[in-house]
Amino acid sequence: MSATALEALHRYTVLESPTGDTRALGALAEVLDADAAEAGFTVGRSGDHLVWSLPGTGGEGGPILLLSHYDTVWPVGTLATMPWTVEGDVVRGPGVYDTKAGLACLIEAVRGLAGSRHPEIRVIVVADEEIGSPTAGELVRSEASRASAVLGLEPPHPGGDLKTGRRGSTRARITVTGVEAHAALDPDAGANAIDELIDQLLRVRAAVADRPVLLNTGTIAGGGRTNVVAGRAHADLGLRFVDPADEEAVVGLLRSLRPVREKAQVATELLSHRPTWKPATDDALLAGITAVAAGIGQEIGGSPADGAADTNTTGAMGVPTVDGLAPRGGGAHARTEWVSRTGMNERIALLTALLTGFRR
C-alpha cells in the first residue's frame, strides 16, 4: 500500500485525540490541516471542526460531501498499553480503525486527483463525533443541503461492505429536583427526587416496551444521605430507533414528562440527537458505487448498520448517502482495534475512482 498513507496514519495515531481534550485535538488538527493543504485542499475551521474544500474541475451537480471525525474514545496515555504496531497486514493503535485510517486514505486519494476531472469536494472532519456530534449538527446540515451526495468515512461492516442506513440515536438526561427534608422526623415535607426519577424511568420503559426501540439507562446518580430525603437525581439514557415514527413518539414523551409528586420538578435535556436514517428503497448511490468498484476489480455491497454517525443527519434529510468508506478492520472502541493495510490500499483506489469517475 501507499507508504505515504501508512506514514500519515502513524503520525495521526501517535497524536492521541480524545473527545473534549482541546489541547490534544488541536495538535492533531494542525497536522491534518497541513496534510490536507499539501494535498490541494483549502482548509478552514468551524469551531473545532475542520472544513476542507477542493474546487471542481468538471462534472455536473452539486459538490460531493465527505464526513469524518478526528476524535477518538481513547484517553491520552492509551498508547502506553495499546501501542502502534504493524505486523503483516494488521495495523494496531488507538483510533486506527475508527477512524484515522479513513482520513489518511482520503488525503492520499485527493493527492492523486491532480489533473483529473472531478466535482467540487467538501469535507467536514468533526471534533466531537464520539459523543454524538452535539456541536456539529448545524454545520453538517448546512453543507449537506447543497451536496449531491454524501460519503461517510466511518468504518465499514466487517469485511468491507458499506452502510446504507443507521438507527436513530438519542442521548437524553432526565433531571429531577425534589425537596430535602429529614427522612424520619418530617418526610412528608420533602419530595424524594430519586423516587420521582424511578417513576419517570418506569414511564419511559413502558413507552418503549411494545416498540423496536433499544433503551439503555447508562448512568444514574442522586441523593446524598440515607437520613435526608433526596433533593436531586438524574439519569442519562441511550435510545436507538429503527423507525422515525417511534423516534418521534418516544422523544416527544421525554420532552413532555411531568412530575408525579406535587413538590418535584422534572426536566429533560437531549444531550445529542441523530435522526433515524432509513435505507432508500431504490439506492442509486450504492448502485453507482458498486459499479465504480467493479470497474477497478473490487466487489462491494451495502446494508443498514446499528451504530450512529453524522450520516444519520444527511440520510434523514433525504440527501443520497452511503457510509463505511474507511478501510476494513475491526475492534472499534476495543483494545483489539486494528485496520488492514491491504484495506487501506483498496479504499484509496475506490475513493480515487469515486471522486473522478462517478456520475450521479
Closest CA to 124 of 94, 147, 93, 97: 147
Provide the domain limits for residue 239: 168-274
Residue 92: what pLDDT? 98
Asked whether residue 148 falls in the same domain as residue 256, the answer is: no
Number of domains into which the chain is organized: 2
Asked whether residue 160 falls in the same domain as residue 41, the answer is: yes
Would you give the DSSP letter of residue 142? H
Asked whether residue 299 falls in the same domain as residue 162, the answer is: yes
Residue 1: what pLDDT? 44
Asked whether residue 55 falls in the same domain as residue 194, the answer is: no
Asked whether residue 265 falls in the same domain as residue 205, the answer is: yes
Asked whether residue 151 falls in the same domain as residue 197, the answer is: no
Which of 213, 243, 274 is the endpoint of a domain?
Answer: 274
Distance CA 181, CA 200 (A): 21
Distance CA 19, CA 61 (A): 35
Residue 61: what pLDDT? 79
Rounded to an integer, what is the distance from CA 33 to the centroid of its chain? 20
Instruction: Report the predicted TM-score, pTM, of the whole model to 2 decimal places.
Output: 0.91
Residue 158: what pLDDT? 95
175-214: burial string, b at 16+ Cβ within 10 Å, e else: bbbbbbbeeeeeeeebbbbbbbbbbbbeebeebbeebebe
Residue 358: what pLDDT? 61
- Answer whether the bond into residue 81 is a cis peptide, omega within 30°: no
Asked whether residue 162 falls in the same domain as residue 53, the answer is: yes
Specify the CATH number for the domain of residue 208. Answer: 3.30.70.360
Distance CA 134, CA 140 (A): 11
Q: Note every long-range contact of 204-211, with CB atoms under 8 Å and residues 24 or more positions apart, other chains counting.
A: 204/174, 204/237, 204/250, 204/253, 204/254, 204/257, 207/249, 207/250, 207/253, 208/239, 208/246, 208/250, 211/243, 211/246, 211/249, 211/250
β-sheet bridge partners, residue 105: none
Share the mean pLDDT of the chain.
96
State the CB neighbour count (10 A cutoff) for residue 115: 6
Asked whether residue 7 falls in the same domain as residue 71, the answer is: yes
Asked whether residue 162 falls in the same domain as residue 172, the answer is: no
Amino acid at 272: S
Closest CA to 151 of 70, 69, 50, 64: 64
pLDDT tens figures, 208-246: 999 999 999 999 999 999 999 999 999 999 999 999 999
Asked whether residue 53 falls in the same domain as residue 38, the answer is: yes
Which of 274, 304, 319 is the endpoint of a domain?
Answer: 274
Asked whether residue 284 falls in the same domain as residue 141, the answer is: yes
Which of 239, 256, 274 is the endpoint of a domain?
Answer: 274
Amino acid at 207: A
Amino acid at 69: H
Would you give the DSSP letter of residue 42? E
β-sheet bridge partners, residue 151: 66, 322
Closest CA to 314 of 75, 124, 180, 178: 124
Specify the CATH number for the domain of residue 104. Answer: 3.40.630.10
Amino acid at 313: T
What Cα–Cα distance (Å) separates residue 234 from each residue in 7, 176, 221, 274? Answer: 45, 6, 6, 22
Residues 6+ apart with CB under 8 A from 69: 99, 125, 126, 127, 128, 129, 130, 133, 310
pLDDT 10s per residue in the chain (360 long)? Answer: 457 999 999 999 999 999 999 999 999 999 999 999 999 999 999 999 999 999 999 767 789 999 999 999 999 999 999 999 999 999 999 999 999 999 999 999 999 998 899 999 999 999 999 999 999 999 999 999 999 999 999 999 999 999 999 999 999 999 999 999 999 999 999 999 999 999 999 999 999 999 999 999 999 999 999 999 999 999 999 999 999 999 999 999 999 999 999 999 999 999 999 999 999 878 899 999 999 999 999 999 999 999 999 999 999 999 999 999 999 999 999 999 999 999 999 999 999 999 997 654
Asked whether residue 146 falls in the same domain as residue 263, the answer is: no
